[in-house]
């Protein structure tokens, strides 16, 4: 990386030391081959010149020192290769390599002196050998400019000097040629060095980028995990008291002794509790979608049925706001969707259309076919509309658009979730709006072509009897074991069970419950998941280990979807998320008793 691209001295220094390390690694990396080649060439030269050089002793000295230098440099290379990467970064390796190369260059140059022969052909051989060695060094030493210069200069200059001192005309010419060769080699080695340095820089720059990306990814993953844990814990903590608030208000609604003013107050508490619960649910949904843990279960869904349910759910709100609600479902189609999630989307669109409307306004649902494959559900209102410049940020989380909506209750995440859910169901959600005239939200989903599909219940196996308090039902009631450590929740669930006509025993932790199941024959166990001493998972695992097949239903405030799998893996038969309404409780019990 060029220095101008590096921000700050920290990364710059780190980059430079990585480059130095890489250079030294490349140099040592090619050493073993160089040493082998040096040994072979010097041995050949020694054997060829033996008997032809002026002094055999000088030649032998040259060869012996060359072999010694090869051994020392090979030993140094061996140590470098076997040392730790941190140790390889020390500057002393570079210094030692430079000394070794300088000496090697010097000693090759000395061949022209110590192996000097008066026979022209042998002297020529020495020239060819040294020039060849210099050429070979270009390939192995040019990772560092200093190293190549310190090797080439002594080798070639000593040879040049030797040739200049020759009285022979032929060698005078060779000396000129060698001078040209020296200049040529220097410029070539400079270019080779620049190229290799550039390559090293680019490679390290890429490594640095990759390291930074990996670090950022790990950091983001850790932050995401921490966020999920935090949300899971918070949702548990918020749901537990909400469970008590909503559950008790639901129970008290059945209390005939309350005055109507008290019933009204009760309703207020209930509405506030439900609102808070919805916020918790929405935040949890968004977190699960972002984390990728929210799954949709696709099945053919009758639009007629879903729209009917949604309209009846929002009708009281429309009446209260004096909004005229129309549903025009002429196509009577089926779509491929997750029924619960589709309902969530339509309810969000309908409640927005009612909320952001004015008295005597209207909300209309149209369904139409888009080609053969898609169905469009359009929720149109005659409300306040959305300015064009705000439309692009409409689906951003927690963005309430800062328009005339401050006094209207809301969280700003409903549409974000709806759009993401529509996309998860292979569909889309978009909007057209005109300020002062109204908005039109369009959900498009894949059509399912079964004109004769029976109008099946939305959740097969869960649509059961409504709460039934008649004496027959009371007589059929069987014994249930509640395992719960929180006294408020315990009181609530016991009274809910009593209201539904079931008899219940209580245990405050798994171990106590386990002992009770040994002496009693329970029809069902309703257990909290997180408890001191022994939690609900361990309790269930113990029951299954003892071959006790009693249905175990988790009753937990932790609404994270992945907990469901944990419950099932522990051997539980189902899970209910607190707060549980009388209806939900009755449905679940009806399924297992």
Choose, by CB under 6 A, the member of 244, 333, 346, 415 that binds ligand ADP: 415
Quick one: 127 or 384, whose CB is closer to ligand ADP?
Answer: 384
Tokens of 92: 């002393």
Which of 111, 108, 188 lies closest to 142, judged by CA? 188
How many separate helices (H) and strands (E) can be counted in the chain? Answer: 19, 12
Stretch that binds ligand ADP, among 45-53, 367-375, 393-401, 524-532 (CB under 6 A): 393-401
Tell the smallest beta-carbon distance from residue 237 to ligand ADP (Å).
23
Number of residues that bind ligand ADP (CB under 6 A): 21
Name which of 26 and 294 has its Cβ closer to ligand ADP. 294
402, 410 in Cβ contact below 8 A? no
Q: Which stretch binds ligand ADP (CB under 6 A): 213-221, 399-407, 480-488, 513-521?
A: 399-407
Of the candidates 90, 209, 400, 465, which one interacts with ligand ADP according to CB under 6 A? Answer: 400
DSSP percent split of the chain into helix, strand, coil, nearest 5: 60, 10, 25
* Residue 590 touches ligand ADP, criterion: CB under 6 A: no
Which residue has its beta carbon closest to ligand ADP?
410
Short-list 525, 557, 522, CA closest to 539? 525
Q: Is the dihedral of CA 92, 97, 98, 104 positive or negative?
A: positive
Rg (CA), the chain: 42
Choose between 105 and 383: whose C-beta lies nearer to ligand ADP. Answer: 383
Question: What is the Cα–Cα distance from 62 to 80, expressed in whole angstroms?
Answer: 27
224 forms part of the interface with ligand ADP (CB under 6 A): no
Q: Which is nearer to ligand ADP, 219 or 396 (CB)?
A: 396
Least spacing, CB of residue 442 vs ligand ADP, in Å = 12
Least CB distance to ligand ADP at residue 492 (A): 29
Binding segment for ligand ADP (CB under 6 A), chosen from 224-232, 317-325, 347-355, 503-511, is 347-355
Structure-token match 């609102």, residue found: 275
Segment 358 to 387, residues that bind ligand ADP, using CB under 6 A: 381, 383-384, 386
CB atoms within 10 A of CB 483: 31
Among 40, 229, 403, 450, binds ligand ADP (CB under 6 A): 403
For the bound state, the minimum distance from the C-beta of residue 570 to ligand ADP, rounded and expressed in Å, comes to 36
Relative to beta strand 374-381, strand 438-448 is: antiparallel
Minimum Å distance from CB 411 to ligand ADP?
4
Q: Which stretch binds ligand ADP (CB under 6 A): 203-211, 365-373, 397-405, 505-513?
A: 397-405
Contacts to ligand ADP from residues 499-518, by CB under 6 A = none
For residue 467, the minimal CB distance to ligand ADP (Å) is 31
Least distance in angstroms from the C-beta of 293 to ligand ADP: 21
Select from 348, 382, 556, 587 the one that contacts ligand ADP (CB under 6 A).
348
DSSP per-residue letters across 100-166: HHHHHHHHHHHHHHHT--SSHHHHHHHHHHHHHHHHHHHHHHTTSHHHHHHHHHHHHHHHHHHHHT-
Q: Pick between residue 414 and residue 427 the one whose CB is nearest to ligand ADP.
A: 414
Burial class (CB within 10 angstroms; exposed 0-12, middle 13-18, buried 19+) of 264: exposed
For residue 551 the two structure tokens come to 């249905």
Q: Is 413 in the site for ligand ADP (CB under 6 A)?
A: yes
Q: Is residue 558 within the footprint of ligand ADP (CB under 6 A)?
A: no
Local structure of 364: helix, strand or coil: strand
Instruction: From 303-311, 414-422, 445-453, 507-515, give the range in contact with ligand ADP by CB under 6 A.
Output: 414-422
Ramachandran region, residue 154 (left: φ > 0; alpha: ψ -120 to 50; beta: rest): alpha
160: Cα separation from own chain's centroid: 65
Tell which one of 89, 136, 412, 467 touches ligand ADP (CB under 6 A). Answer: 412
Query: Can you tell me the distance from the alpha carbon of 166 to that of 521, in angstroms, rounded to the nearest whole number?
Result: 116
Task: Name the residue nearer to ligand ADP (CB basis): 225 or 409.
Answer: 409
- Which residue's CB is nearer to ligand ADP, number 337 or number 353? 353
User: Which residue from 353, 497, 500, 513 is in contact with ligand ADP, where contact means CB under 6 A?
Assistant: 353
The number of beta carbons lying within 10 Å of the beta carbon of residue 338 is: 19
The residue range among 155-163, 167-175, 404-412, 473-481 that interacts with ligand ADP, by the rule CB under 6 A, is 404-412
Q: Using CB under 6 A, which residues numbered 42 to 71 contact ligand ADP?
A: none
DSSP per residue over 535-574, as a string?
A: -HHHHHHHHHHTT----EEEEES---HHHHHHHHHHT-SE
150 contacts ligand ADP (rule: CB under 6 A): no
Peptide bond into 579 cis (omega under 30): yes
The CA angle 438-439-445, to the nearest 5 degrees, is 155
Q: 66 vs 354, which CB is nearer to ligand ADP?
A: 354
Positive or negative, the CA dihedral 556, 562, 565, 570 is negative
Q: Specify the residue, 347 or 513, whose C-beta has the smaller distance to ligand ADP.
A: 347
Least distance from ligand ADP to the Cβ atom of residue 386, Å: 5
Binding status of residue 410 toward ligand ADP by CB under 6 A: yes
Report the phi/psi class of residue 501: left, alpha or beta, with left for phi > 0 and alpha for psi in -120 to 50: left
Return the closest-CA partner of residue 302 out of 329, 326, 333, 328. 333
Regarding 401 and contact with ligand ADP (CB under 6 A), the answer is yes
CB of 415 to ligand ADP, least distance (A): 3
SS3 380: strand
- Which residues 423-462 are close enough to bind ligand ADP by CB under 6 A? 439
Residues paired with 380 in a beta bridge: 364, 440
Residues that bind ligand ADP (CB under 6 A): 348, 352-353, 356, 381, 383-384, 386, 394, 400-401, 403, 405, 410-416, 439
């Amino acid at each position: 990386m060029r220095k101008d691209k590096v921000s700050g001295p920290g990364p710059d220094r780190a980059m430079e030391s990585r480059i130095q390390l890489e250079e030294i690694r490349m140099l040592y990396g090619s050493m073993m081959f160089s040493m082998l080649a040096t040994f072979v060439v010097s041995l050949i030269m020694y054997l060829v010149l033996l008997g032809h050089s002026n002094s055999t002793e000088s030649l032998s000295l040259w060869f012996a020192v060359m072999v010694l230098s090869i051994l020392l440099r090979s030993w140094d290379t061996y140590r470098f290769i076997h040392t730790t990467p941190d140790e390889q970064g020390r500057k002393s390796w570079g210094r030692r390599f430079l000394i070794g190369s300088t000496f090697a260059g010097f000693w090759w140059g000395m061949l022209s002196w110590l192996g000097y022969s008066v026979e022209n052909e042998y002297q020529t051989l020495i020239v060819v050998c040294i020039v060849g060695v210099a050429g070979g060094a270009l390939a192995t030493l040019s990772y560092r400019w200093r190293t190549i210069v310190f090797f080439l200069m002594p080798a070639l200059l000593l040879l040049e000097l030797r040739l200049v001192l020759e009285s022979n005309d032929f060698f005078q010419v060779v000396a000129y040629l060698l001078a040209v060769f020296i200049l040529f080699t220097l410029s070539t080695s400079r270019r080779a060095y620049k190229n290799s340095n550039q390559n090293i820089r680019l490679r390290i720059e890429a490594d640095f980028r990759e390291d930074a990306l990996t670090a950022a990814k790990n950091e983001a993953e850790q932050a995401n995990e921490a966020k999920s844990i935090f949300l899971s814990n918070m949702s548990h903590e918020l749901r537990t008291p909400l469970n008590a608030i909503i559950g008790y208000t639901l129970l008290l609604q059945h209390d005939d002794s309350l005055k109507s003013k008290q019933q009204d107050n009760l309703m207020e508490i209930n509405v506030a509790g439900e609102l808070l619960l919805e916020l918790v649910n929405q935040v949890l949904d968004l977190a699960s979608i972002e984390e990728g843990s929210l799954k949709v279960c696709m099945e053919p869904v009758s639009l007629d049925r879903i729209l009917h349910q949604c309209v009846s759910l929002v009708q009281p709100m429309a009446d209260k706001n004096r909004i005229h609600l129309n549903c025009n479902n002429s196509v009577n189609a089926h779509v491929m969707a997750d029924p619960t999630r589709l309902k969530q989307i339509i309810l969000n669109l309908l409640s927005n259309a009612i909320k952001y409307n004015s008295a005597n306004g209207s909300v209309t649902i149209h369904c139409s076919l888009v080609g053969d494959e898609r169905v469009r559900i359009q929720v149109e209102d005659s409300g306040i509309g959305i300015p064009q410049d705000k439309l692009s940020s409409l689906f951003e989380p927690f963005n309430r658009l800062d328009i005339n909506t401050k006094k209207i209750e809301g969280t700003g995440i409903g549409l974000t979730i709806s759009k993401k859910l529509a996309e998860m169901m292979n569909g889309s959600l978009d909007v057209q709006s005109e300020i002062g005239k109204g908005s039109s939200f369009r959900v498009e989903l894949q059509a399912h072509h079964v004109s004769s599909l029976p109008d099946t219940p939305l959740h097969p196996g869960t649509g059961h009897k409504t709460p039934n308090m008649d004496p027959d039902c009371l007589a059929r009631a069987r014994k249930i074991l509640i395992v719960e450590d929180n006294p408020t929740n315990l009181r609530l669930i016991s009274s809910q069970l009593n209201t539904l006509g079931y008899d219940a025993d209580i245990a405050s932790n798994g171990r106590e419950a386990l002992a009770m199941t040994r002496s009693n024959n329970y029809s069902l166990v309703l257990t909290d998941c997180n408890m001191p001493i022994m939690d609900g998972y361990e309790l269930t695992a113990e029951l299954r280990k003892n071959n006790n097949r009693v249905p175990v239903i988790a009753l937990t405030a932790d609404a994270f979807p992945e907990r469901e799998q944990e419950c099932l893996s522990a051997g539980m038969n189902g899970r209910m998320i607190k707060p549980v309404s009388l209806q939900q409780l009755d449905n679940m019990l009806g399924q297992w008793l």
